[in-house]
């Protein structure tokens, strides 16, 4: 909500260098992790893997992962199962 109320300030203010470096450090490994998942997905012909753990996952959880506006990372726990999961590929 705070970012929406400040949309008029978008691209008009810059953080100080220390704030930017902290943001960059915190974000770097998350970005690398996401890109590594993306590469695995395409190199394995669309094999469904959890974005956060890289474990093979179900179609239902993959659908939830592809809709991040609906589910947070914590809410995705509801889709986890102790059962063996058959490998599933994107169509």
Model confidence pLDDT, tens digit, residues 16-30: 999 989 989 888 988
> Under 8 Å CB-to-CB from 52, ≥6 apart: which residues?
33, 73, 76
Q: What is the per-residue pLDDT for 91? A: 66
Cα(79)–Cα(76) distance, integer angstroms: 6
pLDDT category at 1 given cuts 50, 70, 90 is: low
pTM, entire model: 0.55
């Amino acid at each position: 909500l705070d970012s929406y109320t400040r949309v008029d300030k978008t691209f008009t203010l810059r953080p100080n260098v220390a704030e930017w470096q902290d943001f960059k450090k915190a974000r770097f490994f998350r970005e690398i992790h996401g890109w590594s998942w993306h590469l695995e997905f395409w190199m394995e012909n669309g094999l469904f893997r959890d974005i956060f753990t890289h474990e093979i996952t179900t179609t239902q959880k993959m659908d939830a992962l592809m809709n991040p506006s609906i589910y947070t990372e914590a809410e995705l726990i509801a889709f986890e199962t102790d059962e063996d999961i058959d490998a599933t590929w994107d169509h």
